[in-house]
């Protein structure tokens, strides 16, 4: 008889671009949020309640997308909501997430200024995120300690073909540097092929996904740690990511106080 397994969904979104030359950003940010299948419906229902609260108190309609970067600097029709209120919406999004016990957040940060020509920002960031996802799954370290965990990747619109190719490759070849923690002698790499991430990535459009809109806010807050714009710095926005401390995946990087994976 086959053993049953439970599925954990990883929602991911990006901030910044992957270009190394003539790029307006120095960092590429890839953030993710995971939630177990048995908690997904409650999570979504709570988000809808939260969005209704924002509609009642801030005038943000449920059909209007929270896209953090333009939300602050180029809001378009949302200019009708005062800038301070738009900033408060972002803070409330982060606080809504930080008060949950059924999710975990992980962020990969690529410092593009230190990379040589030919470095693939997209592939390295996603490889690092998927590795952490798979490792946390196989060690059953997500909330609930469900046995035999499996994971499904649901990115916001990105280079789906490239991501699918990468994930398929990692199921067979996933080189990870040797280190003392794994009691491996000498330098070199181990092939830790993915064990717990199933299927190809399923692309989502954040305009139609409340969960992805929250992850977009997470990625934006992470980016403000490294290159805050003038307005966010004046409002202490470069400290917003720390509001997520209770739900950060500590297994991603125990050495960093905010468990950021820095490349």
Contact of 71 with 78, CB cutoff 8 Å: yes
Residues 6+ apart with CB under 8 A from 14: 28, 29, 30, 31, 156, 158, 219
pLDDT tens-digit series, residues 181-191: 544 455 677 88
What pTM does this model have? 0.92
Calpha distance 80→86 (Å, rounded): 10
Parallel, antiparallel or unpaired: strands 6-15 and 149-155? parallel
Look at domain 6-262 and name its CATH class: alpha beta
Tokens of 155: 């990115």
pLDDT in tens, 19-55: 998 899 999 999 999 999 999 999 999 999 999 999 9
Domain ranges for the chain: 6-262
Which strands make up the sheet holding 149-155, listed edge to edge?
149-155, 6-15, 27-36, 103-111, 261-262
SS3 98: helix
Confidence band for 148, pLDDT divided at 50, 70 and 90: confident
């Amino acid at each position: 008889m086959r053993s049953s397994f439970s599925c954990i969904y990883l929602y991911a979104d990006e901030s910044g671009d992957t270009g190394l030359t003539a790029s307006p950003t120095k960092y590429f940010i890839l953030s993710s949020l995971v939630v177990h299948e048995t908690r997904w419906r409650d999570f979504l229902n709570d988000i809808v309640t939260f969005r209704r609260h924002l509609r009642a108190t801030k005038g943000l309609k449920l059909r209007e997308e929270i896209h953090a970067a333009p939300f602050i600097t180029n809001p378009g029709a949302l200019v009708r909501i005062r800038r301070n209120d738009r900033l408060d919406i972002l803070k409330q999004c982060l606080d809504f997430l930080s008060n949950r016990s059924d999710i975990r957040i992980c962020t990969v940060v690529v410092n593009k200024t230190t990379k040589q020509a030919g470095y693939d920002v997209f592939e390295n960031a996603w490889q690092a995120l998927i590795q952490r996802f798979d490792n946390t799954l196989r060690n059953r370290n997500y909330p609930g300690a469900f046995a035999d965990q499996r994971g499904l990747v649901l990115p916001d619109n990105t280079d789906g073909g490239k991501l699918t190719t990468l994930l398929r490759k990692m199921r067979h070849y996933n080189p990870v540097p040797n280190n003392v923690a794994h009691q491996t002698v000498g330098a070199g790499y181990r092939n830790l092929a993915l064990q717990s991430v199933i299927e190809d990535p399923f692309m989502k459009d954040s305009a139609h996904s409340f969960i992805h809109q929250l992850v977009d806010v997470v990625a934006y807050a992470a980016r403000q740690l490294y290159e805050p714009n003038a307005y966010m710095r004046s409002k202490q926005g470069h400290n917003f990511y720390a509001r997520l401390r209770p739900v950060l995946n500590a297994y991603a990087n125990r050495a960093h106080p905010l468990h950021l994976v820095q490349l």
